[in-house]
Amino acid sequence: MVKQTIQIFARIKPTKQTKTGLYEIDDDDEGCPRLQLIVPRELAAGFINNKKENYSFRFNKIFDQKTLQDEVFACVAQPVIDNALQGFNGTIFAYGQTGSGKTFTITGGPERYSDRGIIPRSLSYIFDTVEKQPDKVYTVHISYLEIYNENGYDLLDPKHEAAKLEELPKVCLMEDADQNIHLKNLTVHQAGSEEDALNLLFMGDTNRMIAETPMNQASSRSHCIFTVHLTCKEEGSVTIRKAKLHLVDLAGSERVSKTGVNGAILTEAKYINLSLHYLEQVILALSEKNRQHVPYRNSMMTSVLRDSLGGNCMTTMIATCSLDKSNMDESISTCRFAQRVAMIKNEVTLNEELDPRLLIAKLKRENAELREQLAMATGEQLSEELSPENIERCENSVKFYLQDSDPEGTLNMGHDLRKIQRCFRILKRYVLEKPQAQPQQVEAFSREPSSLDVGPYRDTETRKLKELLEQRDNEINILVNMLKLERKRASDGQRSALTMASRTSVHSVHNVNSEPLNGHHHQGEAANTSMDNGKGDLINRATSEENIKRQDTFYVSRSTSTTIDDGDSMKAKILGDMSLGRQEAFDIFMRDYRDRDKIEANKQFLKKRYTEAKALGEQLNNSKQKMNHLKKILAQIRIQSEMSDHAGPGGDNQMEVEVRKQVEEEKFV
């Protein structure tokens, strides 16, 4: 709860007349804004004139003639709207004489967009703030009430334009037991956006009673109350905050003797002045501490604004003053009224309540519990069967209880023994339907051997099955051992083949490398011998090279054929002549063996390696054949060079160099 006095502001109307009263805006000793009005004594009153000349009034803030609309909104309305969005009621009303700028301040001017008043700016500010708070859900409803000649009318009634004012349904005041005012026949429209709210405001303003008076060409002849109903709910919260924002444009007071009006305008002026008089009485009663009775019911306007005046509401007042010399007395009266209003204190509370749906569910649960307690206390026993709805409710309650991880969770079915027994039966059914664990079954089987059927037929069948199982186990063990031997022999054969091939290649390369050296050695020794001896050496070397080639080819082919023969013999030795049962057992074993994939992968790997080794052997044989052919050509070239005289002793011609180069290249293939 917050205790706060009504905030008062003063706004001075701009005037084009030169005959402006004397006024001054300054700060008092406490630093509060102060408006000083100076009314000089008239000489016609005589020499003895004790009339007061200087009037001083304190306000929260004073807006001079050049103040813009946005500054007025920021200082006056924005704090009230912020509190309304948080759940506090708020009221802003303008008070002053006719033509002092009340409607311009509250509603705004029609000519420029910057002349918007407090109401349209408040609607824009509300929806902008709502969009910035996505974690909260706001709903906005709008109502527009007109009080004309002490009768209430709905300005948002769609029949307002088509019918006469007297034919429209009147808004009636109704009061409940808590002295809360309810307005009958006043429609409340939901506004989902700023555009919808402004359309409702425009429709209400076009239906207002406006007439031309000597003081104002478009004078408001009625009191209008524009109310914004705000509802706020946070996500995941069970509480709802509600607030009302009243934006009041009061009709202007005027002196009938001064304006000289008559007819309908005179009647309107009487009602306006009377309602403002009752409003002043309420203000005076609230400002007096010892006053027991506050006359709210004297007029409809004071009844509607009961909360705004001395109730649960943050209220702000704007006193509009016209400081022409002819209006100085009315401006002084307005400022005096504002000073009395500032003495009123309102007790503001947060309008927070539980969600009605949650509250209804809570009350229903409490009602059911109280009925069950009453049945237990009276000893009433129910004999009829449970309804299907109650049985289903018991099922759901037990499921929720079993799924609840809270160790302190409870299963509350009230004091009805039928429901309690039904819940016990449901729990028993869940326990019986739950399957037993496998280790417990094995333990029970081992502890109770006497419970098995031990008849003669069962013993014979069991013995046969055991023998068959042992036979299968032996066959599987034999097959596993044979498979291991096969894998070992296959790896040994592969290793021996690779070793033989490497030895053969090394031997051939050694012979090829040593042969040119031997050739040069013999050539050096035969420098002084005859040509026939050199020719014989070359022929012998060619013959030895052919023998080496045949020997190498024999070794490679022999190693390859030996590997293939060993593989076939190994396969025949492993498989042999197996019986049909043994063959079936071997197939089952190979299908279910856990390392079957590894064995297949190793087989594919060995096949790939065998193919690569065979290709390398063929490449080696081709290289050897080519080298032998080149050596023959080299031998012929040497014989020819020795028989001719083109090359000197120990020299080589160009052809011999090229052939040697080709031989060296074949060595590194």
Q: How far apart are CA 231 and CA 246, in angstroms?
A: 15
Per DSSP, the three-state class of 91 is strand
- Nearest CA to 2 among 311, 318, 353, 291? 311
- Nearest CA to 283 among 228, 343, 232, 233? 343
Q: How far apart are CA 111 and CA 108, in angstroms?
A: 9
Number of H helices, E strands in the chain: 18, 19
- Nearest CA to 145 among 176, 124, 173, 121? 173
Ligand-binding site membership of 102 (annotated): yes
In sequence order, which residues have a C-beta less than 8 Å from that of residue 219 and are 6 or more positions away? Answer: 98, 99, 210, 211, 212, 213, 251, 252
Please give the C-alpha separations between residue 188 and each of 155, 158, 561, in angstroms, as whole numbers.
11, 12, 106
Number of CB atoms found within 10 A of residue 361's CB: 11
Ligand-binding site membership of 414 (annotated): no
HSE-up (13 A, CA, CB side) for residue 518 = 14
- In the block, tokens 């205790």 appear at 3
| Phi and psi torsions of 318, nearest 5° | -115, 120
With contact defined as beta carbons under 8 Å apart, do 92 and 226 qualify? no
Q: How far apart are CA 516 and CA 520, in angstroms?
A: 6
In sequence order, which residues have a C-beta less than 8 Å from that of residue 485 and are 6 or more positions away? Answer: 574
Residues β-bridged to residue 183: 173
Per DSSP, the three-state class of 211 is strand
With contact defined as beta carbons under 8 Å apart, do 100 and 321 qualify? yes
Burial state string for 519-539 with b = 16 or more CB within 10 A and e = fewer than 16 = beebbeebeeeeeeebbebbe
Ligand-binding site membership of 152 (annotated): no
Tokens of 484: 């291991």
Ligand-binding site membership of 100 (annotated): yes
Tell me the residue type at 249: D
With contact defined as beta carbons under 8 Å apart, do 108 and 120 qualify? yes
Ligand-binding site membership of 101 (annotated): yes
Tokens of 22: 């004397």
In sequence order, which residues have a C-beta less than 8 Å from that of residue 38 and are 6 or more positions away? Answer: 21, 22, 23, 24, 53, 54, 55
In sequence order, what DSSP letters do the residues of 437-450 get, joined into one string?
PHHHHHHHHHH-GG
With contact defined as beta carbons under 8 Å apart, do 113 and 154 qualify? no
Ligand-binding site membership of 519 (annotated): no
Ligand-binding site membership of 97 (annotated): yes
- Nearest CA to 331 among 5, 662, 10? 10
Extract the annotated binding site.
96-103
Residues of each annotated binding site for ATP: 96-103
